[in-house]
Structure 1
Amino acid sequence: MNKHRIIAVSILILAAVFLRFLPHPPNFTPIAALALFSGVIFRDRVMALALPLVVMLVSDLFLGWHNTIFYVYGAFALMVFMGRSLKNHVTVGYIAGGGIAGSLLFFIITNFGVWMSGTMYPPTWEGLTAAYIAAVPFLHNMILGTLFYSAVFFGAFHVAERMIPSIREEAGHLRA
C-alpha cells in the first residue's frame, strides 16, 4: 500500500473512531460499513480484519464492555469477509446489498448472543423469539447507518482516488 493510500485510509479510520463517540441513534454507527470497506480495500486479510476490530476495541475502552462483545466482534469480523467477497464487484448495488446483508447477519448473531447471555430472556424458544422481536427497531437503524456510512466511506475514497491518482492501486481501486 502506497503512502497516499495509507493516509487516505487512516483518515477514514480516525473518522470512524470519532463518529462512535458522537451522539447517534442506537446502532446507527460506522463500524459495519468500515468492516465492509476494509474487506474491499485491504489486500492483506489480517489488516482488513484488524481495522474494524481495533476501532471497536479502542472505542470500547472508553464506552465500556458488555457480555455480548464476542458476538458483536464476531459479526463485524464476518462482515469483513463479506467485504472481501465484494472486491471484484465494487458497485453501488453490490455495496448496498452487502450492507443490508451484513446488517441482517449482525442482527441474527448479536441478538442470539443477547439471548444466550441469559440475562434478559429465558432460555426457551419464546425467549429467543422475544429477543429478536425486541431488536427489530435496532435493525432498522443498523441498516440505515450501514448504508449511509458505506456511501460516505466508499464515496470519499472513490473521490480521493480520482483527485489523487497515487492513491489508486492496480486491481485494488474502486470502480464508479
Structure 2
Amino acid sequence: MFYLMILAVAASRFLPHPPNVACVAALGLFAGSYLSGRRAYLVPIAVMGLSDLVGHTLGIPGLGFYSPAAMALVYLGIAASVPIGRMLRNASGKSRLWKVPAASLAASGVFFLLSNFGLLVAGWYPMTVAGVTACYVNAIPFFGYTIAGDLCFSVVVFGAWELSQSRLRLPAVAQA
C-alpha cells in the first residue's frame, strides 16, 4: 500500500493542474514521517527527477529541466520537506492530525524561499534589492498555489495512510 501511494502521487504530476500545485512536498513530508535513512530523501527526489525527465522528454508543459542552479534549489526545497516530516514522526493520535497542516505550511514556506532564491542565483532577476524584491513579490501568486496543493495533498496522503492502517489493518512500513 505504501509504495502504491507513492506511485499514485508520482502519477498525479502528469495530471492537468494549476502551476505549483504539486504533490511532491507532501510526499517528502510523508516519506520523512514514515521512512528513515536516505530512503526518505530518495523518494521525493526520485519522483521529481523521473517525472521531470519524462516531462522534458515528452515536452509536457510545467515539467522538465531548465537552469541547473534554479533546479538545484527547487530540488533542495523538495528535499527540505523530509526533515519537516521527521518532526511529525514523534506526534501521535489527534495531535498528529493537527500537525500535518502546520508541517505542510512550513514545507511550502521553505520551498518558496529556496526555489525563488534559485531564480536569483540563476540570473533571472538582478542581485539587487529591487531584483530580490521583484523576484519574491512576483512569486506570491504561485505561493498561494503551492500552499493549496501542499495542504490538500498532505491531508489526502496522510489521511489515506492512517485510514488504511486503522481500517484495513495493513502492516506498518519497515523503518530502515
Shorter-chain TM-score tier? 0.7 to 0.9
Would you say 1:133 and 2:126 are equivalent positions? no
How far did residue 166 of structure 1 move? 3.5
1:58 maps to what in 2?
50
The alignment covers a number of residue pairs equal to: 162
CA contact 1:160–1:167 (8 Å) conserved in 2 = no
Would you say 1:41 and 2:28 are equivalent positions? no
TM-score (norm 1): 0.87
1:101 maps to what in 2?
106
CA contact 1:26–1:138 (8 Å) conserved in 2 = yes
Counting only pairs closer than 5 Å after superposition, residues 134-173 of structure 1 correspond to structure 2 as 134-168=138-172
Deviations 1:131-171 (A, max 9, x none): 0000000100101100100111001101110123242369x
CA contact 2:34–2:173 (8 Å) conserved in 1 = no
How far did residue 51 of structure 1 move? 0.5
CA distance in 2, matches of 1:137, 1:78: 21
TM-score (norm 2): 0.87
Give unpaired runs (5+ residues) of structure 2: 56-63
CA distance in 2, matches of 1:162, 1:94: 19
Calculate percent identity across the aligned residue pairs.
36
Give unpaired runs (5+ residues) of structure 1: 1-7
Q: Secondary structure at the match of 1:29?
A: coil
Quick one: which of 13, 18, 28 aligns to 1:25? Answer: 18
CA distance in 2, matches of 1:54, 1:169: 19
Structure 2 letter corresponding to 1:142: T
Counting only pairs closer than 5 Å after superposition, residues 77-96 of structure 1 correspond to structure 2 as 77-90=79-92, 91-96=96-101
